[in-house]
Amino acid sequence: MAPGQLFVPIVAERDGHDFIPMAVAAGATAYLTSKDVDAAPGVAAIRVPDTAVALADVGRAARRRLPGRVVGITGSVGKTSTKDLLSGVLASTYRTAASEKSFNNELGLPLTLLGAPDDTEAVVLEMGARGIGHIATLCDIAEPDVGVLTRVEGVHLELFGSIEAVAQTKGELIAALPDDGIAVLNADDPNVLAMRSRTSARVLTYGLSSGVDVFASDVVLDEQLRASFVLHTPWGSAPVALGARGEHQVPNALAAAAAGGGLGVSVEAIVAGLAGAALSGLRMELLTLDSGLTVINDAYNANPTSMAAALRSLARLDARRRVAVLGTMAELGPSAPAAHREIAALAESLGIDVVAVAEPDYGDGVTHVVDVEAAADALGDVGASDAVLVKGSRVAALERVVALLGS
């Protein structure tokens, strides 16, 4: 809390009403409540039937204060990186607000809208989902003018049940767009491209091959894993040098370029915005430790697609030995054992040793350890000419391995 803020208690595993006295002591000047709570002098207690619903309603009110150029981004992978890249592109031309970190649900999205300054000219909103109807609910709050859909993958199948359900849910963003809106679709993913039938909005396609609206040619990576390419758009072409690392960031940059161009950002400003955009933390951070060891810290999250991309990035580094410290890929449902074995097989084909942390599904042929301390110990013989990737789903919190290696 900061003085002057509104406190919204959420009832979940813990009841946020229990923290109202702490919020008031920290300077809250008002709070929502669905219970009878003793109000402190000078602090407004605003009674509502449901505090989470009220937060969404306040988010709707905040959205109506904003002009157009509200962009929603969803997809199975690449949402946050695309959000970061598009924020950089739009900020080159407009006063821009964007979701912090991965504030992409029914709590984070209203907070982003509420936090947008009064003079905001563009807003970029990441939209996540854990079931059918979730994206539609977020769109009801945000009323996006532009929808960006990155990919539809077999991620979170434990929650969705099928890739068809994933596609149905992600497509709720495209279906919610107004007739004068813009749908930005990944032409390299047939499930995404099929979403054009769900909207009457203008469609802009992007991909890695020609024949689409926005595409890249001549993609190369430098020794720091930063991609450069020639950007081709309906508004002109230009060379791009990304600050973001990994070849898998190129499609995300193309999505950002398409959305930015559709909203009137010049090609020159798009190039500058992509070059200067900073990704959220724990995503493809390339570190050199005091020992000289090179570390890719990509520990924020993991799924089969992003895991494969990170392994291929590690394989491109000039190193004597390459090791991947891998945690679980969560919420894959029945496909989890096979998906983990496939990642282990890919690592082997790339000449990468694997240290699996508390995840037996990676199978034989890898080093299995029980926790992050054991993982750091297993890496004890790596040195200045070696490279290590650290990656797993958020529940694994494998950034702790990086901290131990650097201590």
- Tell me, what's the pLDDT at 329? 97
81 labelled ligand-binding: yes
Q: CB–CB of 72/147 below 8 Å?
A: yes
The encoded tokens of residue 352 equal: 């990468």
75 labelled ligand-binding: yes
CB atoms < 10 A from the CB of 250, how many? 21
Residues in contact with 126: Cβ distance below 8 Å, sequence separation at least 6, in sequence order: 73, 74, 79, 80, 83, 99, 102, 103, 104, 108, 109
CB atoms < 10 A from the CB of 238, how many? 16
Name the residue ranges covered by the structural domains of the chain.
Answer: 6-49, 54-276, 285-406
Task: Determine the CATH number of domain 54-276.
Answer: 3.40.1190.10
* CATH architecture of the domain with residue range 285-406: Alpha-Beta Complex (3.90)
Q: Residue 56: in which H helix or E strand, if any?
A: helix 51-65
78 labelled ligand-binding: yes
Digit-coded pLDDT (tens) for 87-143 = 999 999 999 999 988 799 999 999 999 999 999 999 999 999 999 999 999 999 999
150 labelled ligand-binding: no
Same fold, 54-276 and 285-406: no
Instruction: Using alpha carbons, list the distances in angstroms from residue 383 to 177, 288, 364, 380.
Output: 52, 11, 25, 8
80 labelled ligand-binding: yes
Residue 162 is classified by DSSP as S
Q: CB–CB of 315/321 below 8 Å?
A: no
Give the mean model confidence (pLDDT) for residues 270-275. Answer: 98
Q: Could you give the CA distance from residue 77 to residue 62 in angstroms, rounded to a whole number?
A: 28
- Tell me, what's the pLDDT at 16? 96
The correct CATH number of 6-49 out of 3.90.650.10, 3.40.1390.10, 3.10.20.30, 3.40.50.300 is 3.40.1390.10
Pairing of strands 285-288, 294-297: antiparallel
79 labelled ligand-binding: yes
Mean pLDDT (the chain) is 96
